[in-house]
């Protein structure tokens, strides 16, 4: 199934994310994670490089932990870009890539966790963003993959805190005493904290909004699927009954006529028995297409109730007009030629039609069913109709 197009007014960035999310292949999800995290890590690397080259800033830093962090972030970026290069040709395939997904999750999680630990786990906003990174990961990657990444990141933070309590290392190993003036962070530390928070916040917020937008689209699609017959694309029984009930309420206010028709493919079992279910499905799909071509959309409702039983709801339509619609539908199907196993055959349809004036849904359908039975009894391939009112026919 092709991916739906992006909505009008979408930016190229949004369209890229839409394609990656809608395609929903394992490789594309890894690519999305790499694309979202790499710019952040690259900017941090550049900022730290500048800090280590500035005499003023370097005086407030511990060079050893900072260079170790630089090496770790560089390794994470290199690993992610290498995986992205390998996965790009496979982005459209449905094959699983568990090792690549695990490596990307660990590299992003460990890189951000190290950044959080070295700057002070509980006194910077990085820890908040780290929780958000893990939450977003749950929406992109399998639970098992994120569970491992969560355990590793949590283990690093807990291990660091235990070491701090035991006096083995400093609370914020990358920061020295000169990073603060009168217990307040220097301008460069404050600016760094703001960047880490807002850069992470913007990326997370964008991804969250996009993912929830996709969830809304998926919810709408699920509603559509719950109202649609998979084989024919027509409304299903549930949707048809909802439409009938809604139209009865509207009819009660407007007083306009409403017609309901029940259709049944004649001798359909013979088609299945002789040519197989594939041929039968083709007949049903064709009947559904003929029905859609014979009604007004979206005013009228064409539905498959089950098996070879179909229905039409024709609001604001009198019996004679509805009969013309049904006759056109019947004659179109009767002229249709089917072919299976080297043989040509035709299929006809019997239709029971009623115009309702004040009855409830069950009574309307019962009346239409009686007319359908009459059409079958009289020889099939015909339309039988009546006006149905309270108190009788």
As annotated, the active-site residues are 308
Q: Is 85 left (phi over 0), alpha (psi -120 to 50) or beta?
A: alpha
β 180-181/301-306 pair status: unpaired
The C-alpha atoms of residue 140 and residue 137 are separated, in whole angstroms, by 5
Question: How crowded is residue 232: how many other Cβ atoms within 10 Å of its Cβ?
Answer: 21
The C-alpha atoms of residue 7 and residue 216 are separated, in whole angstroms, by 13
The C-alpha atoms of residue 236 and residue 314 are separated, in whole angstroms, by 16
∠ Cα 75 77 81 (to 5°) = 120
* Most distant CA atoms of the chain, gap in Å: 101
| Joined tokens for residue 200 | 């992470």
∠ Cα 246 240 252 (to 5°) = 25
Phi, psi (rounded to 5 degrees) for 271: -65, -45
Instruction: Evaluate whether 353 touches 261 at the Cβ level (below 8 Å).
Output: yes
Cα–Cα distances (Å) from 149 to 145, 174, 205, in that order, read 7, 24, 21
CA atoms lying within 13 Å on the CB side of residue 322: 29
């Amino acid at each position: 199934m092709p991916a739906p197009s992006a909505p009008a007014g979408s930016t190229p960035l949004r369209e890229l994310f839409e394609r990656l999310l809608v395609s929903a292949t394992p490789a594309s999800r890894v690519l999305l994670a790499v694309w979202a995290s790499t710019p952040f890590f690259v900017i941090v690397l550049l900022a730290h490089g500048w800090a280590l080259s500035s005499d003023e800033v370097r005086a407030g830093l511990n060079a050893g932990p900072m260079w170790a962090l630089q090496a770790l972030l560089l390794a994470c970026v290199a690993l992610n870009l290498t995986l992205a290069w390998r996965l790009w040709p496979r982005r459209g395939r449905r094959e699983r890539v568990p090792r690549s997904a695990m490596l990307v999750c660990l590299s992003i999680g460990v890189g951000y966790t190290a950044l959080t630990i070295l700057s002070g786990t509980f006194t910077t906003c990085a820890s908040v963003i780290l929780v958000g990174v893990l939450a977003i990961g749950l929406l992109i990657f399998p639970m098992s993959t994120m569970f491992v990444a969560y355990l590793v990141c949590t283990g690093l933070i807990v291990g660091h805190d235990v070491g701090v309590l035991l006096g083995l290392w400093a609370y914020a190993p990358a920061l020295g005493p000169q990073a603060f003036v009168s217990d307040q962070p220097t301008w460069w530390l404050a600016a760094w904290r703001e960047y880490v928070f807002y850069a992470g916040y913007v990326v997370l917020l964008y991804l969250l909004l996009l993912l929830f937008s996709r969830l809304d689209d998926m919810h709408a699609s699920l509603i559509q699927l719950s109202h649609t017959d998979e084989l024919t694309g027509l409304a299903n029984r549930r949707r048809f009954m909802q439409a009938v009930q809604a139209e009865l309420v509207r009819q009660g206010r407007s007083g306009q006529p409403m017609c309901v028709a029940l259709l049944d493919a004649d001798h359909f079992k013979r088609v299945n028995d002789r040519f197989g279910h594939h041929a039968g499905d083709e007949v049903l799909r064709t009947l559904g297409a003929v029905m859609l071509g014979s009604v007004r959309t979206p005013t009228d409702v064409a539905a498959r109730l089950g098996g070879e039983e179909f229905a039409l709801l024709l609001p604001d339509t009198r019996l004679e007009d509805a009969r013309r619609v049904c006759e056109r539908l019947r004659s179109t199907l009767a002229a249709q030629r089917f072919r299976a196993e080297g043989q040509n055959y035709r299929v006809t349809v019997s239709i029971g039609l009623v115009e309702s004036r004040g009855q409830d849904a069950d009574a309307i359908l019962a009346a239409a069913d009686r007319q359908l039975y009459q059409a079958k009894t009289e020889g099939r391939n015909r339309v039988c109709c009546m006006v149905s009112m309270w108190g009788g026919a």
